[in-house]
A and B are shown apart, each in its own frame.
Chain A
């Protein structure tokens, strides 16, 4: 037992002895997440080096507060996780207790009129979505999948999501928040006892809460939060039936005013033009590029590699479509009335034509027709994580947030080049040097782009190749002076050959010394340095970070 017995007992007193464990077998599971193999701390192995000292399952805000206060008193570090989908949720240093928040799993309120829901940490997107569509509302689930925590995304990590074009980035969707600060003090953002806003009085402490990437466990524990919802034009329940491939079920009926439009473009310029025009006309419920051909087919058409091969590769379909489907886009039109629907469809087809988009027969006829209309919506609404199966493992480039032009120019094109080289080596999956996820927000006010690298997780050589490929990508752009562009989402991730500390030291000076500002904020809010800072953009404390 690594925690002193009296400390263990004290924690057990807080959460109850059934809600605490230091069983080595249990602790070991908190060093593992899938895809860990690319993380520089353990690659190409799968287990992070730092076991937690204990795992605690608090059941209420009061228990969380008591734990955090105790941590401050005894100098024990803590790390909170909600659904724990990545290594960002696990201890990044020794001496940490994990607060696994799975017992806090209630939707506390859905305010139908004022369009928000209040959730606890372990409420998932699927859980919330099922409840809100009954009330004619929808939410903003992330590509991580419907099993991921709403609150973790809202408060603590990223925020790019499939329905961002109509629903916004989750970093901008937070309203009232309840927050146990690293000191154990309880802070409520927004009016006491109310959830309709989280900004003020005066400055908004959402500023300290989150930023672009979320504090990832380095700034205390969020125990409740209100998320802004948006309108759902569909029926209160989506009936499905078995069938299809990627989700293994299809929509029984396509909602009345729903259509998926999937134009392909020959060039990025055309595609960008399309995004701008659709954004200006406010036509899309969701708008993204997921592609090229290999990615698109494997994503949409198959639940296994075998099926994918039989359906699309052995028939030569994917190979034949590679040129035609260089830039495939998926746009969802979802209207509230027949009139609105007709208007949107008309303008959409006009824009597709004007911008050089092609609606390919292969997508609108034959087996793909059902997939596009009956399965694609299920996949999007249900937010299936489909893109990982081709090779067993995948990692993303750091990802960029900005204008269409800046992200394509400084991410899409150079990454395709580098990826092409590695794909040829046979060590990572050859997906036509594509596989981007490109998503529009707030009617194309800004977009997000990342590139996925698919590797064989059981093969260390393949794992290493994907890591090197990402380092190459970063290093090359670092050489070009203007290659650093604004708002690199990862800032400190995306180069998995380096430690977080090295990445921070690399990037900080190019971005206003954000790491120094974060260090100052960290010290101000966490004077005893107990909220595990290993994923916080100030890094682990070293002598390299000089604070005035």
Chain B
């Protein structure tokens, strides 16, 4: 028997493939992680299939690499380190429940942003979204990756908006986390008024926190409940721009502190142009018309006296901006607020906004605090100049997270498609900057690719503890071996 027959025997012959073209497409992504082919693609239909595959993999000692989103992938986490079976979960894409009352959706792992956003809107709900995510990105996977989301006020904990999960651990055992644990299953719990909103537990372990950020190395999630927010009745987006970041950061701090505004984030002109313009020429043209730094925030009214709610927020907000000598506006040169509002309330149209400039894009991101952001940016620009990378083409995105207790600082480096030299140059720049920034206190909380080695070599105690966890949930290292510290 070969792999194909064995796995096909478990989940159906039509759900496995070793077609060389299919396999080749899974062998690499848009990252610096070396390409390596899997041996097989498997497309399970549900938890039972997954359990079967995991049990088999344990016996056969074959690695499994879970994937939920559509291509292109860009962080190396779904590139097999040692071959094995890519477990493609994108076909498990049923929206199991949308519950307006409790502001929650329960979705299978393959449900994408472009699929869920309109369905939620019909019910008067929305997601606390990442910044214009890829249309075919899995909502659940985005949550598992702790991608930063754009409404800091609703981001109570780093785990949000991911709440409860069903997971097949590396041991092959199925488990439901948080409020979803316990008798009845989803249906039974809904019948008694439950909604899988409380994420902690059961009891003395927060399983969701161990699965999150694990790049598929602890368990394979089948469904999750996702925290949703109300869709505004009145929706206004404002720009606040400046030549320097300092005052904008002050304003961002105040807005978050006072729960004013919904979406709050900061961008440089290049990122804003990339979000709005369709291609390289458009981006180049638009960037020239934009100020260097832009704070974007929205002011929203809901079903109860929305105008009045917007009105008081605007007045309170304007007092804050005035103090800093800044005036918010609903346009920025030729850019209109409504246009950006549409962009940030949806998944990105194709091509994905990060790919519009060069066709390829490489990322550098970490967690810091807003008041430290400025200490990284000039240093990065200097390094870019040293490496001959045009500093004006670096996208910068600053997202306050966990109610403003910290922020995500992200840099995007567009690269001409297929240009190996440029890619190498960017790689050098990112690696150099990463090392320098780590020394400076940047926290690479989501260590993809070579960052894993960089952060874990500095934190042996964490590695030891994580290995203990791994030993409990995936003792045979079946799940995505070679990632993180495993």
A contact set with B: CB distance below 8 Å: 111, 113-116, 168-169, 171-173, 175, 181, 185-188, 190-194, 196-197, 199-216, 218-219, 228, 230-231, 276, 280-282, 336-337, 339-340, 342-343, 346-347, 350-351, 401-406, 409-410, 442, 445-446, 481-482, 484-488, 491-492, 510-512, 514-515, 517-518, 520-521, 524-525, 536-537, 548
CB < 8 Å neighbour of B472 from A171, A510, A517: A517
Knowing A197-B445, A202-B215, the reply to whether A211 touches B305 (Cβ < 8 A) is no
Judge if B340 is at the interface, Cβ distance under 8 Å.
Answer: no
Separation of A521 and B206 alpha carbons in the complex (Å): 12
Q: Which of A194, A212, A340, A409 has the most CB of B within 10 A?
A: A212
Separation of A86 and B155 alpha carbons in the complex (Å): 33
Extra A-B contacts (6), CB below 8 Å, given A200-B443, A339-B312, A406-B195: A208-B465, A209-B206, A337-B315, A340-B312, A401-B198, A486-B182
5 smallest CB-CB distances across A and B, nearest first, come from A405-B193, A212-B201, A200-B445, A207-B209, A339-B312
CB < 8 Å neighbour of A410 from B192, B209, B302, B452: B192
Knowing A207-B210, A339-B316, the reply to whether A512 touches B200 (Cβ < 8 A) is no
CB < 8 Å neighbour of B157 from A168, A202, A282: A168
B260's closest neighbor in chain A, by CB? A336
A172 cross-chain contacts in B, Cβ below 8 A: 156-157, 159, 199-200
CB < 8 Å neighbour of B204 from A186, A484, A518: A518
Q: Can you list 10 pairs linking A and B with CB atoms under 8 Å apart? A: A114-B369, A115-B257, A193-B441, A197-B445, A201-B452, A281-B302, A347-B304, A445-B103, A446-B179, A482-B192
Cross-chain contact B203 with A213 (CB below 8 angstroms): yes
Cross-chain contact A196 with B204 (CB below 8 angstroms): no
A408's closest neighbor in chain B, by CB? B193
Q: Which of B101, B204, B218, B405 has the most CB of A within 10 A?
A: B204
Cross-chain contact B193 with A202 (CB below 8 angstroms): no
Separation of A522 and B445 alpha carbons in the complex (Å): 25
Separation of A259 and B358 alpha carbons in the complex (Å): 56
Judge if B2 is at the interface, Cβ distance under 8 Å.
Answer: no
Cross-chain contact A337 with B202 (CB below 8 angstroms): no
Cross-chain contact A485 with B192 (CB below 8 angstroms): yes
Separation of A339 and B260 alpha carbons in the complex (Å): 13
Q: Bin the interface of chain B by size.
A: 35 or more
Cross-chain contact B405 with A196 (CB below 8 angstroms): yes
Cross-chain contact A169 with B200 (CB below 8 angstroms): yes
CB < 8 Å neighbour of A186 from B156, B211, B227, B461: B461
Complex interface bits, B310-327 against A, C-beta within 8 A gives 1, otherwise 0: 011101100000000000
Looking at the assembled complex, report how far the CB atom of B302 sits from the nearest CB atom of chain A, in whole angstroms: 7
Separation of A160 and B191 alpha carbons in the complex (Å): 26
B208 cross-chain contacts in A, Cβ below 8 A: 207
Q: Which of A210, A405, A517 has the most CB of B within 10 A?
A: A517
Cross-chain contact B471 with A204 (CB below 8 angstroms): no
Knowing A201-B446, A228-B402, A445-B227, the reply to whether A482 touches B197 (Cβ < 8 A) is no
Judge if B44 is at the interface, Cβ distance under 8 Å.
Answer: no
Judge if B253 is at the interface, Cβ distance under 8 Å.
Answer: yes
CB < 8 Å neighbour of A511 from B203, B215, B455: B203
Complex interface bits, B210-229 against A, C-beta within 8 A gives 1, otherwise 0: 11111101100000000100
